[in-house]
Amino acid sequence: MTYLEAFSHYLCKERKLSQNTLESYIRDVRMFCTYLQKRKLSIENVTKTIIIAYIIFLQKEGRTTSTISRHMASLRCYFNYLVDNKYIKTNPTLNLESPKVERKLPSVLTKREVEKLLEQPDLNDVKGARDKAMLELLYATGIRVSELISLNIDDIDIENGLLFCKNSSGKSRTIPIGTYCLKYIKLFLNEYRDELNPSDDEKALFLNLHGERMTRQGFWKIVKYYTQKANINKSITPHTLRHSFAVHLIENGADLQSLQEMLGHSDISTTQIYSKINNTRIREVYNRTHPRA
């Protein structure tokens, strides 16, 4: 078994990383190993100078700062693993800083744009009722798309207006659902879902037109379709509704800690970016409307 294969097994079995994260780590490390092979260098002899040269190589390749930082995180994890398992003696990434990433403020929709988007589905057929329920739920709870498509029917407590959500790491959280959204969830479940798949064996809440669990790609197409139909001239992804949910709660007085819990952020510093967006919007309004701005 090669070092990389052993590392992959460790990430999967011991760290229990999600498939996407695992693939990202392995892809980054494999790229670094290819870099070493082309220069006839071995992993056992990698030095801090070689790591710095690799960072410069990535910069010349046109990689973004965030991508380079991710590569560095992957290499740190890899070399930590190699040292812990005594494959190598020293970790060349120790005390080596990653390039500082300037966090871009995510794009959000105005409340009117959200309304226009959510008005588009036709509630008179199964596809429209399903799409309406999905879009309303995403905006009502701010959950991730991966969490949305992973929901099962039992994850919705309609009587108490609660959503039980589990992230890719298996951590659960409970999020309230407003009465407006619940109305469309009930409509879909009571009148339309069985048209897609009446089998009791299928537990998925949201299904595609083939009666199977909705995919990320399928939902992305749904969002793109209704964005065009609503004539919203913004680049909208399914994640835009999550960002909009967060900013609109902040605008209406929600505290960061409550928002952090609803979004499922492990670190509140991640949640704080939404306050920055709100402050930016307030500044824009002030500059546009105050006579002495």
Alpha-carbon separation of residue 224 from 17, 58, 229, 238, 271 (angstroms): 30, 33, 9, 9, 26
| 143: nearest Cα among 219, 241, 232, 51 | 241
Within the chain, all domains assigned CATH 1.10.443.10 are found at 111-288
Q: Residue 289 pLDDT more than 90?
A: no
What dotted CATH number matches 3-84? 1.10.150.130
pLDDT at 166: 81
| pLDDT per residue as tens digits for the range 49-107 | 999 999 989 988 888 888 888 899 999 999 999 999 999 988 999 887 766 555 555 67
43, 33 contact by CB (below 8 A): yes
Confidence of residue 293 (pLDDT cuts 50, 70, 90): very low
| pLDDT per residue as tens digits for the range 118-132 | 999 999 999 999 999
Task: Return d(Cα 82, Cα 102) in angstroms, integer.
Answer: 31
Task: Return d(Cα 72, Cα 106) in angstroms, integer.
Answer: 24
Q: Residue 275 pLDDT more than 80?
A: no
| pLDDT per residue as tens digits for the range 237-258 | 878 888 888 888 877 777 777 7
**What tokens were used for 196?**
């897609």
Task: Return d(Cα 10, Cα 16) in angstroms, integer.
Answer: 8
| pLDDT per residue as tens digits for the range 142-161 | 898 999 999 999 999 999 99
Residue 62 region by backbone torsions, left for phi larger than 0, else alpha for psi between -120 and 50, else beta: left
Within the chain, all domains assigned CATH 1.10.150.130 are found at 3-84
Q: What's the fold here for domain 111-288?
A: hpI Integrase; Chain A (1.10.443)
pTM metric for this prediction: 0.60
| Phi/psi of residue 173, nearest 5 degrees | -150, 155
Q: How many CA atoms lie within 13 A of 18 on its CB side?
A: 10
